[in-house]
A = this chain, B = another copy of it.
Amino acid sequence: MSKYRSIPHNFEGEELESVFVGRRDGAARPTVILIPTVMGVSDLEKGFGRQLVELGYNSLVADLFGKKFHGAPRDTMFGEMNRLKSDRAALLRRMQHVLELARGQSEVQGDHIVVAGYCFGGMCALDLARSGADVLAAVSFHGLFDPPGLPAQKIKAKVVAFHGWDDPMVPPEKVVALGQELTDGGSDWQIHAYGHVGHGFTNPHAASLQIEGVAYNELAAERSWTSFVNLLEEVFG
């Protein structure tokens, strides 16, 4: 029912390659931009994209790291992630580029876009919302909450964070801080916290990263997906 289409693109001199997931009819639909984990575009996010297509939406799985890192080993990808995280203003430009890329696709209804990300990608989705970007919602699955240190903007997107309470990278004080930050930003926001759940809970292969506190949790994966689908129904109508 769904098909993949590669989209080569260029950001500030780097070659990237994202993946569009849509129906064969090529019709314009509400679209979810999916921002992958530290490991970059993988079958995980493409699978979520296919699920979204089943629900009647399109999806763009965004490459933030660049073509030359496709299939790179874990340590290389963590190095790249840290490089991107070290300049949040540049990372925001990268996210704005991805948003424009999505808007440029004929299958995308430009005023019906949601951005959702996983782990590092969750932080990127939050950063786009924090910038005041014109998207309907920004969703973080086990994302990092650290604020970008950029001038605060009025947040237009509805923000939802699905969070494992035992996530070693996001302790309770960061949850409280995000609540305060989003309240100050005027955002319509939700945080769904799951007990006994760590980082990476949507990823059945999370354990392969071999990081303490990073593990798949089927129940949290299902609950967050169900709530995500509820949100898409709310914003896409």
Contacts and interface: CB of A to CB of B under 8 A. Distances in A.
A52 to B, nearest CB: 19
Interface string A170-184: 001101100110110
A193 B195 contact: no
A93 interface: no
A173 B227 CA distance: 25
A191 interface: yes
A1 B223 CA distance: 31
Contact of A172 (B179, B187, B192, B195): B179
A42 interface: no
Interface in A129-185: 159, 165-166, 172-173, 175-176, 179-180, 182-183
A230 interface: yes
A203 to B, nearest CB: 19
A63 to B, nearest CB: 31
In this complex, the interface size class of chain A, counting residues with CB under 8 Å from chain B, is: 20 to 34
Contacts of A227: 227, 230
A5 interface: no
A11 to B, nearest CB: 32
Contacts of A183: 165-166, 195-196
Contact of A193 (B191, B194, B196, B230): B191
Given A190-B194, A191-B193, A195-B187, A176 B176 contact: yes
Nearest to A194: B190
A165 B179 contact: yes
A219 interface: yes
A226 interface: yes
A165 B175 CA distance: 12
Contacts of A159: 195
A69 interface: no
26 contacts: A165-B179, A172-B176, A172-B179, A172-B180, A179-B193, A182-B195, A183-B195, A183-B196, A187-B195, A188-B195, A189-B194, A189-B195, A189-B196, A190-B192, A190-B193, A191-B192, A191-B193, A192-B192, A192-B193, A193-B193, A223-B230, A223-B234, A226-B230, A227-B227, A227-B230, A230-B230
